[in-house]
Amino acid sequence: MIIIKEDESMKAVMRRIVSILTVIAVMTGTGLLTGCAVTAVVNDNAGPAYNVEASGVIDGWKPDSPAMLSIVEFVRDSVDETSDAYIPVEDRIAVFDMDGTLYGERFPTYFNDWLYIQRALYDEGYEAPAELKEFAKAWEDKVLKGIPIEDFDAKERELGPKLYEGLSSEEYYEVVRKFKQKPVWGFEGMDYGDAFFSPMVSLVEYLCENDYSVYIVSATYRDAVRVMTEGVLDEYVPADRVIGTDLLYVASGDTDRDSMFYELKPEDELVIGGKLFLKNQKTNKAAMIQQEIGKMPVLAFGNSTGDFSMATYTLQNKKYGGRAYMLLCDDTLRDYGDPDVAEAFKKKCDENGFYTVSMKDEFASFYPEGAQMLKEGQDAAVTDYSARENWAYYAEGENRAADLFIICPTVDTRDEYNMSLDDQKTKGNFIGALNMERGIYEESTRMFAPYYRQAAMKVYDLEAAEREPYMEMAYSDISAAFEYYLENENNGRPIILAG
């Protein structure tokens, strides 16, 4: 029996009920993880430093990392003039993708994209045109709530550059520098200018120390990457070794925006014309390597299918046995990883002959020292329960005496810590579990049952302190769902809480 205090809120009562059910769940081997939202800070990203000369380990990598050890072996052979695998200095070329490879892309999305959204909607010193604001708001909803945008790629190519139309290169650089000073979404102790993967920065340094020429080949705007790397990688990757998506520059006095037929005047300056010159993704990456470098790389690093063309082109370097490495976004303790996405991506990499890097298992450190992930993210990351697709049952059964708010027990047995709301198979199991209890209540109650990012059974492999953030993620969703129900549907009706 649970005694409800006179001044106790319904949310507090719910939290106590859930706490009891959670204890029962642990004892019986089932997870019932719900309750109030608490922001949890996890992970000190600082990792041990290693001396490459002494141990053969690159800073920030675990000593037994298969990918790191294979890279070290490749590089050692490539610089050994007595080795059959020796590569002359002029042919030691390595290419790196940017977002997701050198730099984080899950807070909450790509650098280019989040910069656009923040400038269009929240920059107090800039008033974006209405059309761009409308697109930016839809884009923000796409990123944070998963609401799709019809013909998004075409709209992004058209409207993305317009936000910077008329800016000189230096003015654009200042826009990027200003954004770099903002705190990273979902983290403490890290600004956007710092959000590089420490092990990958060390890898770039290691390659350069072995006389490799390192290029960044990114779908991010080229001039944005040049600014992003300032103070972090520009010592190793100067501006002329950055290849990216190109904004079209035109003369300020060219009203026709046709540089082929306009002669630059002394009073003119080059400004962004509001269009793209080239989108550097997929096969364009390989083509731009050929156009700008003129040689095939021997090493390529990426993290998505957008990098496959660049990787395949590198593998075509039969003279030196080119290799490609792909990062897997499988770390959910130090980043907003997605094990399901990582698992599917690994299969594609294996099929294409690419090496893979488990960020979870092979990175000793992650982001710079002092960066800490807020497991719950920011308020916008809480599931949107105004969207009916986020409810398994919503007001099921009208004209009943009471309401039933039912919390589904854990049905997620996959190799992850929290259920993904995009996981249709587990959602099916979710419905099945609810239906086992539904018959008890359906004749007398309206049924409300939210989908939520429940903690999977795998969390019980963790120590209690490590487990708590994943439980809190589930709590945050249930709390948001219950609050939405109270504000929009309850109207003083009796409530049964069940799980």
Residues 55-113: pLDDT tens digits? 478 999 999 999 999 999 999 999 999 999 999 999 999 999 999 999 999 999 999 99
- Alpha carbon distances (Å) from 363 to 57, 173, 440: 12, 32, 49
More confident residue, 380 or 346: 346
What pLDDT score does 43 carry? 33
Which segment, 3-12, 209-218, 328-337, 439-448, is predicted with the most confidence on average? 209-218
- Residue 225 to residue 214: CA distance in whole angstroms: 14
Confidence category of residue 326, pLDDT binned at 50, 70, 90:
very high
Q: Which residue in this structure is represented by tokens 């609401």?
A: 147
Highest mean pLDDT among 42-56, 99-113, 249-263, 473-487: 99-113
Q: Is pLDDT above 80 for 396?
A: no
pLDDT score of 380: 41
* Residue range 445-465, pLDDT digits in tens: 999 999 998 888 877 877 776
Q: Which residue type is seen at 377? A: G
> Is the distance from CB of 300 to CB of 325 less than 8 angstroms?
yes
Determine how many CB atoms are found less than 10 A away from the CB of residue 51.
10
Lowest mean pLDDT among 75-89, 215-229, 376-390: 376-390
Tell me the backbone φ, ψ of residue 18, rounded to 5 degrees: -65, -40
The residue type at 378? Q
Residue 202: predicted pLDDT: 98
Radius of gyration of the chain (CA): 26
Q: Find the range with the poorest average confidence among 128-137, 154-163, 286-295, 445-454.
A: 445-454
Among 161-175, 358-372, 386-400, 408-422, the range scoring the smallest mean pLDDT is 408-422
- Write out the H or E segment, with its range, that includes residue 438: helix 424-441
Q: What is the pLDDT of residue 40?
A: 26
Residue carrying the six token digits 């999977």: 456
Backbone angles phi, psi at 496, to 5 degrees: -110, 125
The token pair that represents 331 in the structure block: 């770390």
How much is the pLDDT for 422?
A: 75
The superfamily CATH assigns to domain 52-372 is: HAD superfamily/HAD-like (3.40.50.1000)
Instruction: Collect all residues with Cβ–Cβ distance below 8 Å to 336 and sequence separation of at least 6.
Output: 106, 107, 108, 186, 373, 377
Taking a C-beta distance cutoff of 8 angstroms, is the pair 393, 447 a contact? yes
Look at residue 366 and tell me whether its pLDDT is greater than 70. Answer: yes
Hey, what are 122's tokens?
A: 């929240």
Q: What is the pLDDT of residue 257?
A: 80
Mean pLDDT confidence for 320-328? 98
pLDDT of residue 15 exceeding 70, the answer is no
Beta carbons of 408 and 238 less than 8 angstroms apart: no
**Which comes out higher in pLDDT, residue 39 or 292?**
292
Question: With contact defined as beta carbons under 8 Å apart, do 47 and 198 qualify?
Answer: yes
d(CA 286, CA 13): 59
Q: Is 209 within 8 Å of 271 (Cβ atoms)?
A: no
- Tell me what percent of the residues of the chain surpass a pLDDT of 70: 86
* Residue 339 region by backbone torsions, left for phi larger than 0, else alpha for psi between -120 and 50, else beta: alpha
Residue 4 has what pLDDT?
A: 44
- Is residue 347 pLDDT above 90, yes or no? yes
Structural element, H or E, at residue 299: strand 299-302
The whole-chain average pLDDT of the chain stands at 86
pLDDT of the residue at 91: 99
Measured distance CA(183)–CA(171) in Å, rounded = 21
**Would you state the pLDDT for residue 381?**
56
Write down the pLDDT at residue 45.
37
Taking alpha carbons only, the member of 115, 67, 48 closest to residue 303 is 67
Q: What is the DSSP string of 348-388?
A: HHHHHT-EEEEHHHHBS--SSTT-EEETT--GGGS--TTSG
pLDDT at 23 over 50: no
User: What is each CA distance from 370 to 43, 45, 189, in whole angstroms?
Assistant: 10, 7, 6
Cα separation, 219 vs 281, whole angstroms: 5
| Average pLDDT estimate for 234-254 | 97
| pLDDT of res. 97 | 99
Q: Which residue has the tokens 């000189």?
A: 168
Token output for 341: 């996405």
What amino acid is encoded at 124 in this protein? Answer: E
Distance CA 472, CA 335 (A): 16
As a whole number of angstroms, the distance between CA 435 and CA 408 comes to 10
pLDDT band at 244 (very low <50, low <70, confident <90, very high): very high
What pLDDT, on a 0 to 100 scale, did the predictor assign at position 437?
A: 82
Lowest mean pLDDT among 4-13, 106-115, 143-152, 162-171: 4-13
CA separation for the pair 422, 426 (Å, rounded)? 9
Instruction: Name the residue among 290, 324, 248 with its Cα closest to residue 70.
Output: 324
How many Å apart are CA 226 and CA 237, to the nearest integer? 9
Q: According to the model, what pLDDT value does residue 438 have?
A: 81
Instruction: Please tell me the predicted confidence (pLDDT) of residue 27.
Output: 44
Rounded mean pLDDT, 219-248: 98
β-pairing verdict for 93-96 and 213-221: parallel
Query: What pLDDT was estimated at residue 288?
Result: 98
How is the chain split into domains, by residue range? Answer: 10-40+375-498, 52-372
- Least confident range of 43-47, 156-160, 295-299: 43-47
Evaluate if residue 54 carries a pLDDT over 60. no
Cis peptide before 108 (omega within 30 of 0): yes
Cα–Cα distances (Å) from 291 to 275, 284, 426, 458, in that order, read 21, 10, 47, 48
> From CA 374, how far away is CA 376, in angstroms rounded?
5
Q: What is the pTM of this model?
A: 0.69
Residue 158 is predicted with a pLDDT of: 97
Examine the pLDDT at 3 and tell me if it is beyond 50. no
| Token pair for 147 | 């609401």
Half-sphere exposure of 209 (CA within 13 A, CB side): 11
